[in-house]
Amino acid sequence: MNNRISSAIRLALYSHARSPRQQSAVAPFLMGVSSAALLAPAAALAQDNADSSAGALEEVVVTASKRGDQFLQNMATSIRAITSEDLEKANIQDFEDWVGFVPGVTFKDLGPGEKTIVTRGLVSTGAATTAVYFDETNITAFNDGEGGGRNVDFKLFDLERIEVLRGPQGTLYGASALGGTIRIISAKPDLTEWSASAEMELSSTKEGSGNYAARGHINLPIVPDVFGIRLAAWAVDNSGYIDNIRLGNSEINDEETVGARLTARWQATENLTLTATAMTQEQDIGDSSRFNQVGDDALIFPGETPFSVTDELQVTDFTRNPRQDDPTILSLVADYQTSFGSFVATTSLYDREVLFNFDSTPILLFFGVPIRAISSFPEDREIWSNEIRFSSDFDGRVQFVGGLYHQEEDLESESNVWTVDANGNINESSPSVLSVLRDRSFDETAIFGELTVNITDQWDFTVGARYAEFDFVTDENAVVPFFGPPMGPEPTKSGDDSSSILKFNTSYQVNDDVMVYATASEGFRRGGLNLNAFGDLFDIPETFGSDELWNYEVGVKSSWFEDKLIVNATLYTLDWSDIQLETVSELGGVEFFTNAGKARVNGIELELFARPVAGLNLSAAIGYTDAELTEDAPPINIPPLPSEGQDGDSINNVPDLTASFAADYTWTAFGGWDATVGGALRYTGDSDTRIAANRDPFNVHLPSSTIVDLRAGLGNDNWRVEFFIENLTDERAINDAINEVTNILAFFTNRPRTTGVRVNYQF
């Protein structure tokens, strides 16, 4: 093999191992949608307004402002809270189960543990654009190639609520809260009385087979009013629904997940509370969740007999691609209450070990090398985060929240390419084709605060700021024994960055039921170091910087008909600059990160909640997003790669319209038993996988989709039995796709129609 081909293969494999992969309409759209959405429920509510049996909607308490408990309707920000009752009613266990009910939030999906959260249309390669927290623990994703992909898929069991803050939250939540912040709040020990529950679920998936899940919790006040514990555990076994017809394996993407969470709470004194949490989960996925529809064009190995894809949920991979995902959280929170405010100190350790595999045979065949191979990506990511903050409770018109934050992150990862046998299994006795070892660290120290002034009893003004400093260190070593002599290690690289952001917010309480607000706020993502495992062969920048964003929004929160109807709406525009994006060098085609280009996002978020009659709950959520570039990105002059995005191009993987509707009705059936029927519909508009959709030959158009779920059940004080159908119409929603010059076109979809029964007992 000559040197040119050898170098090209090494570079292609290295890149492959790193990354397996309108304003004018806004105002009239908001007016039209708001009017239409209000008129229908309002008509029903007006007729029923005199019926006192139709109870008001419950007020939801959240803690997202870091100022203690606050009613959601009193917060001057765009926020959605999904309560424990909502989670249980809809059987929400995974991220994709609830995201469709929140306007302004979508996701890119490459399978379990490989989801990229997209809030308000902000998505690009680099660090995550949406921050994610479990209680006080930062579990925000980071993935060079998928722009915040690899979000951990903790099972959502025994939670108090999920809080979704839309728009930049950088002053309180720091880097990556560019588009928003998601907070998953677990149930805490009750120190007054014991409780327990046990749940079993059995179901069957079309194109798959049987599934089961078992969940349970127990709450024990060991020393009443002083010390208690709460233990939750879960086990899930889901069948796969994709077949590998090359290797003759069925239902390859099956899932086995087990996990547990133990929380202890000590009321040390009247004012001091200590809460410790330990949580772990082990998830094993049998194989990739992608499928392809290539028919007679399926790639074949030299000497292999051609074959046809006969069903859409089939794949033709040459390798078995199992995935393991083992996250752990350890955290301690101290809360000290005084007459003038509260002090909170937190320390958390988040450790996540992931092993991801991907078929590399197509890239080798592209270069004319007849070798079956697999890319393997073991990774261990550890985040130690700490925060000390004070939240005031002063007498008077001025309140303050502020604190210090320090985080140390270490990421040890490998990119290995191994040969496999005819059955797709790794030849462990053979040397790797390529091996890249990396050890990266990211340290952050920040100071933050928000000051609120009650100008009058109705009018508030808030100003916030955050200053953060970052340090980066990278050690990298590339070994290529198959194609040539070993290379590396690279010299240690280091860099630093800093960022300062502001927030301004004002709100006016028109009356007890209506509040209007306006916000101007900044968000940012940290910069970093470019990876380069091939020495000084290619001249690429060592570092890239933070990108920045200004958000301008106005909103209204309102309650009607004695709190039987809630209508919240937000109109926003985002100006995004110095966007972190991935490009390639003209010499050698090596990928690297840089800052370039600008974008603008205009959008609307509308949410309605209604209880027109006793027992009937209705909700609707509509999000409109118009996300496009406002400045050209750097061109790429390497055929067949297209030029980067241009002014006016729509941002990839951002549907312009999302909508959801949900309803449930509960009534007394017989002898202390209540009956419930309910359902939900989630609509996602179409989008494209490439930002230069009209010019990029590798773009894949993702069509719109509609998912419908139904459920019906009976319950009393102890028992609950529910029958459900998820994805009633067996919709094949295409959530994402991979299409590259060295890869077969492949799609990622939702689970086919699943029918089952769930039995729950409350002790």
**pLDDT of 93-121, one tens digit each?**
888 888 889 998 998 877 787 888 899 99
Enclosing domain of residue 510: 3-762
Q: CA dihedral in degrees (97, 99, 103, 107; nearest 10)? A: -130
Tokens 């959260």 — which residue? Answer: 117
> How large is the average pLDDT for residues 576-598?
72
Residue 4 has pLDDT above 50, yes or no: no
Residue 164 has pLDDT above 90, yes or no: yes
Residue 538 has pLDDT above 80, yes or no: no
Residue 240 in 3-state DSSP?
Answer: coil
Say what the pLDDT of residue 642 is.
56
Weakest mean pLDDT among 208-212, 284-288, 473-477: 473-477
Say what the pLDDT of residue 175 is.
86
Top-confidence residue, 691 or 63: 63
Q: Give dist(CA 604, CA 675) in Å, integer.
A: 36
Residue 673 has pLDDT above 90, yes or no: yes
CA angle 733, 736, 737 (to 5 degrees): 115
CATH number for the domain spanning 283: value is 2.40.170.20
**Residue of 217, 360, 356, 379 whose CA lies nearest to 287:** 356
User: Are 281 and 326 spatial neighbours (Cβ–Cβ below 8 Å)?
Assistant: yes
Q: Going edge to edge, which strands form the sheet with 743-749?
A: 290-291, 743-749, 734-740
Q: What is the largest CA-CA distance in the chain?
A: 86
Give the up-direction half-sphere exposure of residue 515: CA atoms within 13 A in the CB hemisphere: 22
Residue 615 has pLDDT above 70, yes or no: yes
Residue 645 has pLDDT above 50, yes or no: yes
What is the distance of C-alpha 250 from the center of its chain?
29
Q: Give dist(CA 320, CA 63) in Å, integer.
A: 44
Residue 73 has pLDDT above 50, yes or no: yes
What is the distance of C-alpha 415 from the center of its chain?
24
Percent of the chain with pLDDT over 70: 86
Q: Is the dihedral of CA 204, 207, 209, 213 positive or negative?
A: negative
> How large is the average pLDDT for residues 320-336?
96
Say what the pLDDT of residue 534 is.
53
Residue 54 has pLDDT above 70, yes or no: no
Q: Is the dihedral of CA 401, 402, 406, 407 positive or negative?
A: positive
Measured CA to CA in angstroms, residue 162 lies from 179, 392, 487 at distances of: 17, 25, 47
**pLDDT of 406-462, one tens digit each?**
999 999 988 888 899 989 998 877 777 778 888 889 999 999 999 999 999 999 999
Tokens 């772990």 — which residue? Answer: 280
Weakest mean pLDDT among 156-170, 243-257, 291-305, 364-378: 291-305
Q: Helices marked H in 579-717 — which ranges?
A: none
**Domain total in the chain:** 1
Percent of the chain with pLDDT over 90: 59
Say what the pLDDT of residue 78 is.
94
Say what the pLDDT of residue 585 is.
54
Say what the pLDDT of residue 25 is.
37
**pLDDT of 484-528, one tens digit each?**
555 666 778 888 889 999 999 999 999 999 999 999 999 988 888
User: Are 332 and 275 spatial neighbours (Cβ–Cβ below 8 Å)?
Assistant: yes
Mean pLDDT across the chain, nearest whole number? Answer: 86
Say what the pLDDT of residue 492 is.
81
Say what the pLDDT of residue 89 is.
83
Residue 42 has pLDDT above 60, yes or no: no
Say what the pLDDT of residue 453 is.
97
User: Are 95 and 153 spatial neighbours (Cβ–Cβ below 8 Å)?
Assistant: yes
Top-confidence residue, 53 or 694: 694
> How large is the average pLDDT for residues 568-585?
86
Tokens of residue 734, six digits: 């295409």
Residue 559 has pLDDT above 90, yes or no: yes
What is the distance of C-alpha 599 from the center of its chain?
22
Q: Is the dihedral of CA 673, 674, 675, 678 positive or negative?
A: negative
> How large is the average pLDDT for residues 293-308?
74
**Residue of 650, 597, 596, 593 whose CA lies nearest to 627:** 650
Say what the pLDDT of residue 113 is.
79
Residue 15 has pLDDT above 80, yes or no: no
Say what the pLDDT of residue 435 is.
80
Measured CA to CA in angstroms, residue 104 lies from 93, 118, 622, 656 at distances of: 21, 8, 8, 10
Confidence grade of residue 343 (pLDDT, cut at 50, 70, 90): very high
CA angle 373, 376, 380 (to 5 degrees): 175
Tokens 């969940």 — which residue? Answer: 215
